Copies of this chain bind each other. A is one copy, B any other.
Amino acid sequence: MARTKRRHSPAEDGGETRRTILREAHRLFMELGYRAVSTRQIADACGLTQPALYHHFADKQDLYVAMLRDNLDTVQGGLERIVRRDGDIGERLRQVARYLPATRSDMGQMFHDIDHEVGVEARRTLGEAFHHGVVAPIAAIFADGLQRGLLRDPRHGGADPVTATYLLLSMLRYAPAGEDRQTTASNHARHADTVVDVLLHGLAVPNSSHRGEQHDENWKGVDLHDDVIG
């Protein structure tokens, strides 16, 4: 009883500790960012001492790259399942928009860390993995819509598939306010649906060349410096 503290899990054999490290690293890196997470934090979360990490990964960046590649592969699998489904563009995009936040992979955080925190070689590797695993599958949906003539031509007011994808990813990032920042699943789903609807159909009233009659009586006038700005 004096020795054999056995901090967390036995890790009796192949790869289990490594998987634990990758899982905890994913959780911490996505929540706090590469820079803000120390190797000791990760080790603690795994029930290990900090030097033990270096038995499984060469250094902090190597761990980050391995974690992100792993995660991007998983996301790619989920996205390609959705892309292959039949159904109209809107439905498939809604499914994408609901799926991404569920993966707990903060695209904005990934962008920042890939751009700022890793070396040039890892940046190339991860940038490719991101494009291949996330951007390309989603862009395929938009490309499909363009081919079918359902989406506006990129050269006349629309956006090319890759740009459309980045717009979708960007819009998914932030919920309205910092107050009701509940990470409720239903909130995510509602926001996802709103994002896709706005991305596809816009905020403007459809035929609003002539001042639309669509003025809804239930929308009470918003006084700028009270309701909206307050």
Contact = CB atoms under 8 A, between A and B. Distances in A.
A142 interface: yes
Given A140-B224, A222-B143, A149 B198 contact: no
A53 to B, nearest CB: 21
A203 B89 CA distance: 11
B152 A204 contact: yes
Contacts of A195: 167
Q: How large is the interface on A (under 10, 10 to 19, 20 to 34, 35 or more residues)?
A: 35 or more
A78 to B, nearest CB: 16
Contacts of A198: 158-159, 164, 167, 199, 202
Contact of A115 (B178, B205, B219): B178
Interface of A: 32-33, 35-36, 89, 108-109, 111-112, 115-117, 127, 131-132, 136, 139-140, 142-143, 145-164, 166-167, 169-171, 173-178, 194-195, 197-206, 208, 211-216, 218-219, 221-222, 224-225, 227-229
28 contacts: A32-B116, A33-B35, A35-B35, A108-B108, A108-B112, A115-B178, A132-B229, A136-B225, A136-B228, A136-B229, A142-B203, A145-B204, A146-B219, A147-B215, A148-B211, A149-B212, A150-B204, A152-B214, A154-B219, A155-B218, A156-B216, A162-B176, A166-B174, A166-B176, A167-B171, A170-B171, A201-B202, A201-B204
